[in-house]
Amino acid sequence: MDFEQNNNLSEPAASEPSESISDLGQTRPKIETAKRRIGWKIFWGIVLALSVMANITLLIMLIVLIVFFAAGRRDGLAEEVLRDGPWRSKIAVITVEGVIHDEQSDNVFRQLKYARGDRWVKGLIVRINSPGGTISDSDQIYNEIRKYRQEEGIPVVAFMQGVAASGGYYVSVACEKIIAEPTTITGSIGVMFGHFVFQQLLEEKLGIQPVVITSGPKKDWPSSFQPITEEQRQYIQDKLIGPAYNRFMEVVADGRPGLSLDDVKLLSDGSIYAAQEARDIKLIDEIGYLDEAIEQVKSLAGLDKARVVEYCKPFSWAGFLSSRSRNILSIDRDKLYELSTPQVLYLWSAY
């Protein structure tokens, strides 16, 4: 009996198979690892989807901005406040700067059009810093300023800075009063004509013989392919320079009440004048700066206070790209035509 009990005690106790314990311990890490991998896949999938969506959104925004700037108004202008004041009483400053040509006259026309559309503009200052330019564009700007004065019935004052000579002065006399900075150079009332003669370069240097066939002997006077003769010189004097010169003197006499046509003729030998001398001979009214021009307009308009604004062209990709393309393609047929065609100018040539 005891032997049986001892024998039973000596047998090992029943336990779970080792294989089952091992399998259970290995299965749990595998499940957890698989879950982690699925979680990371979901996480990175969400991140990738968000990244793609963000990039698409940025691309759409970029396209919209490019379209907005490129298709925006190229002729639109913005107001820059130079002197603060009541917005119901504005003095607008328009600018004539650099050599006067067709682009400059178009720019002035846009500024005047913008001022016309603002009923709170009570006076105008034409800021001029120009040596002049073509006779037609100088006259167009002059005419637009005169028309503005007549139609709007508000005071217009010219403010000269730096250089306001020849065509620059021509534009100034369209205004009611003229104020110049102390260092301004003005005057140069007269006409200049010039062109290039390429005959020697073409024939002797390049061996090129120009052939020009005309319907009459004066059709190509003066020609860039032959030296000018005395007869041609007199012809240009009578047909171009004389009429433009007379027009200039008449415009000055009409715009400067203190000067008669005979007085203007004495001053119209092309001479330039500093501001002090110009005031003494009545080509200008006062010497001063922008603040003096503002006070003059306020006095003429009967204003105590005024907001002074200047019109400027806001940045646009369309304007930037078009200006870049003009610079890149500057030597084209039109440019070659300008270089080879004689020019009659209201221009101070020393500029």
Task: Specify the higher pLDDT residue, 242 or 52.
Answer: 242
Catalytic one among 138, 166, 172, 268?
166
Amino acid identity of residue 102, one-letter, is D
pLDDT at residue 131, as a whole number: 95
pLDDT, tens digit, 9 for 90 and up, residues 71-87: 444 457 888 999 999 98
pLDDT at residue 163, as a whole number: 95
Query: H or E segment at 145?
Result: helix 135-152
Q: Which two tokens stand for residue 292?
A: 């003096």
pLDDT at residue 69, as a whole number: 54
Assess whether 166 carries a catalytic annotation. yes
Question: Is the predicted pLDDT of residue 151 greater than 80, yes or no?
Answer: yes
Kindly give the pairing relationship between strand 286-287 and strand 90-97.
unpaired
What's the mean pLDDT in 53-74? 70
d(CA 235, CA 241): 9
Assess whether 323 carries a catalytic annotation. no
Provide the whole-model pTM.
0.73
pLDDT, tens digit, 9 for 90 and up, residues 289-301: 999 999 999 999 9
pLDDT, tens digit, 9 for 90 and up, residues 313-332: 775 555 545 544 444 444 45
Catalytic one among 147, 218, 219, 335?
219
What's the mean pLDDT in 33-47? 73
Instruction: Judge residue 257's burial from the number of C-beta atoms within 10 Å of its C-beta, 0-12 exposed, 13-18 middle, 19 or more buried.
Output: exposed
Neighbour count for residue 155 (Cβ, 10 Å): 22
Measured at the alpha carbon of residue 75, what is the angle toward residues 69 and 77, in degrees to the nearest 5?
Answer: 90
Query: 219 pLDDT band (50/70/90 cuts)?
Result: confident
Query: 126 pLDDT band (50/70/90 cuts)?
Result: very high
Query: 70 pLDDT band (50/70/90 cuts)?
Result: low
Question: Is the predicted pLDDT of residue 19 greater than 60, yes or no?
Answer: no
Question: Is the predicted pLDDT of residue 228 greater than 90, yes or no?
Answer: no
| Domains of the chain as residue ranges with CATH | 78-315+334-347 (3.90.226.10)
